[in-house]
Amino acid sequence: MTTPSITNSDEATTQRDVAQKSSTEPLIFERSKRGRRGYQLPPLDVPEQSLDELLPASLRRDEIADEVEVSEVDVIRHFTRLSKLNVSIDAGLYPLGSCTMKHNPRINEEIARTPGFALSHPLQPEHQVQGNLELLWTIEQTLKEIFGMPRVTLQPVAGAHGELTGILMVHKALAKSGNARKYILIPDSAHGTNPASAAFAGYEIRELKSNSRGTVELSTLEAAVNEDVAALMVTVPNTLGVFESEIRAMADILHAKGAYLYCDGANLNSFVGIARPGDMGIDVIHSNLHKTFSTPHGGGGPGAGPVGVSAKLVDFVPTPTVERREDGTFYLDFNHPDSIGRMRAFHGNFNVLVRALTYMRSMGPTGMRRIAQLAVLNANYIRARLRNHYHLPYDAPTLHEVVFSDKLQTAHDVHTLDIAKRLMDYGFHPPTIYFPLIVSGALMIEPTESEPREELDAFCEAMIAIARESEERPELVRSAPHTTPVRRLDEARAARQPILRWKR
């Protein structure tokens, strides 16, 4: 094991290229010089008109606007400098737990750029877009197989949107049988979008306390389920990475009382191609395609949250669905009288669906299984290497992610936020912190399958070095980051009072 060179230095000796120097350079607005041009207009090829003819004086400025005047060189350098400040999966490990920040294969982009996909319009007549309809139909068939379920809607454009779609289907099914019920049960380890979606669909939330393994205790569930409960929303494996090994029994308890089992499928990467949610008794599940099926998802950018349903909910899926005729042609079917209706204008985030299907097809069933196996292996490698240096709050076996806490470091007054900030000095994006909420000072690490052994080792060595620094030089960790363009920001104020406009 090699020791990273930064251990004995407060200064910028990070192995990676953090574009530190450029933070002190003037902004593009400050580079403005009268008369600089970044473009040239072609010669006028229409009859010249006077300004008075074109725009009455009353609508015109008295003075020329105080615009930024810069050259092409200035602009290129400005944006290139900014691009170097971005941290991305293309630059290194991005272990943001629960987010599945895996490599996005470039073949996905190539296929998504195919003109027939990229330039088509959702209002084109069916006969012109048979290929696109076939793509939607094929991705539904593929997800049906992965889920082990009879129907999948592709309309939702995010995991949270899928949750809302799923709960609205449960609501409609229950309402149709005479009682829409009042409550959704949600374990205390759940992602915040679960209660938000259930509340948005009109339900009240009842929290289920996890047991000492971090999973749902059957007796707790049994005591909580009654004829007022519409569904349990559970994440499998849960946000600690622990598989709910009693999921089948949980389904039975719910079904016996006429309630539904909703699965938050954000963690599908840990069992895709190995186990099928439909076989677990799950009635409805969303998959974050942008997580498991490798489409870029930094900065909240376009996603897809298809929802699979069991036979009980098939009638309620959003319209239109894509169907295949006897003669092999495809059409949009609006004839679903019990449908919850549309969840989205048009057909979901089509370009994300193209990327996801490309990924599924390039992996194939065997490759898909391998994804899950390697994702679990990588997470457990990190777990094994770090467990003597960081506290493991739940000792149950974990799948594709591992949650540590700052319990050992708090003795030196070093906390999770400090550890995360210090990791940036070592050139790593920090893991998810302070989530799940049932772990005090959580550090939730998900390496994904796409990381090579060397990268995992470099990350573990940085984490071990930080654990040592926390004992020997805690102030160094508490005052991190030292090498980034900006230090610790007031995140709350940045969100509430963002400065979105440049003013001289």
The footprint of ligand PLP (CB under 6 A) covers 98, 158-160, 191, 193, 235, 239, 264, 266, 288, 303, 305
b/e per residue 389-421 (b: at least 16 CB within 10 A): bbbbbbebebbbbbbbbbebbeebebbbbbbbb
Minimum gap (Å) between residue 375 Cβ and ligand PLP: 14
Complex with ligand PLP: residue 235 or 405, whichever CB lies closer: 235
With the C-alpha atoms ordered 96, 97, 99, 104, is the resulting torsion angle positive or negative? Answer: positive
What distance in Å separates the CA atoms of residue 98 and residue 299, rounded to the nearest whole number?
A: 15
The three-class DSSP label of residue 444 is strand
Give min distance, CB of 265 to ligand PLP, in A.
Answer: 8
Nearer to ligand PLP, 160 or 456 (CB): 160
31 or 191: whose CB is closer to ligand PLP? 191
Shorter beta-carbon distance to ligand PLP: residue 264 or 469: 264
Exposed (0-12), middle (13-18) or buried (19+): which is 373, by Cβ within 10 Å? middle
Give least dist CB 152 to ligand PLP, A.
16
Shortest gap between Cβ of 236 and ligand PLP (angstroms)?
A: 10
Instruction: Please report the DSSP string for 201-267 in residue order.
Output: TTPEEEEEPB-TTSSB-HHHHHHH-STTEEEEEEESS-TTS---TTHHHHHHHHHHTT-EEEEEGGG
Judged by beta carbon, residue 98 or residue 153, the one nearer ligand PLP is: 98
Give me the least distance between CB of 71 and ligand PLP, in Å please. 40
- Which single residue brings its beta carbon nearest to ligand PLP? 159
Cα 191 to Cα 99, 259, 307, 313: the distances in Å are 11, 21, 17, 24
Q: Is the dihedral of CA 28, 31, 33, 36 positive or negative?
A: negative
Burial label for 325, CB within 10 Å (0-12, 13-18, 19+), is exposed
Distance, in Å, from the CA atom of 430 to the CA atom of 179, rounded to the nearest integer, reads: 46
**Distance between CA atoms of 83 and 19, rounded to whole angstroms?**
10
Report the nearest approach of ligand PLP to the CB of residue 101 (Å). 11
In whole angstroms, the minimum distance from the beta carbon of 341 to ligand PLP comes to 20
Q: State which residue, 258 or 393, has the beta carbon closest to ligand PLP.
A: 393
Q: Which burial class, exposed, middle or buried, applies to 39 when counting CB atoms under 10 A from its CB (0-12, 13-18, 19+)?
A: exposed
CB closer to ligand PLP, 142 vs 193:
193
State the minimum distance, in angstroms, from the CB of residue 159 to ligand PLP.
2
Question: Which residues are within 8 A (CB) of 93 and not within 5 positions of it... i.e. 6 or more apart?
Answer: 428, 429, 447, 451, 455, 456, 458, 459
Nearer to ligand PLP, 268 or 368 (CB): 268
Q: Cβ closer to ligand PLP: 399 or 464?
A: 399
Q: Which two tokens stand for residue 87?
A: 């941290």
CA atoms within 13 A on the CB side of 300: 2
303 vs 427 by CB, closer to ligand PLP: 303
Strand partners, 332: 322
Q: Which is nearer to ligand PLP, 263 or 420 (CB)?
A: 263
Q: How far is the CB of 91 from ligand PLP (least distance, A)?
A: 22
Look at the block and give the residue holding tokens 């840990």: 270
The three-class DSSP label of residue 433 is: strand
Nearer to ligand PLP, 74 or 264 (CB): 264
* Residue 126: count of CB within 10 angstroms of its CB: 12
For residue 300, the minimal CB distance to ligand PLP (Å) is: 8
- The total number of residues written for the chain in this structure: 504
Tabulate helix, strand, coil % of the chain (nearest 5): 40, 10, 45
Query: Is the separation of the CB atoms in 14 and 4 below 8 Å?
Result: no
Ordered DSSP codes for 177-211: TT---SEEEEETTS-THHHHHHHHTTPEEEEEPB-
Q: Is the peptide bond before 4 cis (omega within 30 degrees of 0)?
A: no
Run of H or E including 405? strand 402-405
Least distance from ligand PLP to the Cβ atom of residue 104, Å: 15
The CB-of-305 to ligand PLP minimum distance in angstroms stands at 6
- Looking at the Cβ atoms of 193 and 210, the one nearer to ligand PLP is 193
Report, in Å, the least distance between residue 99 CB and ligand PLP. 6
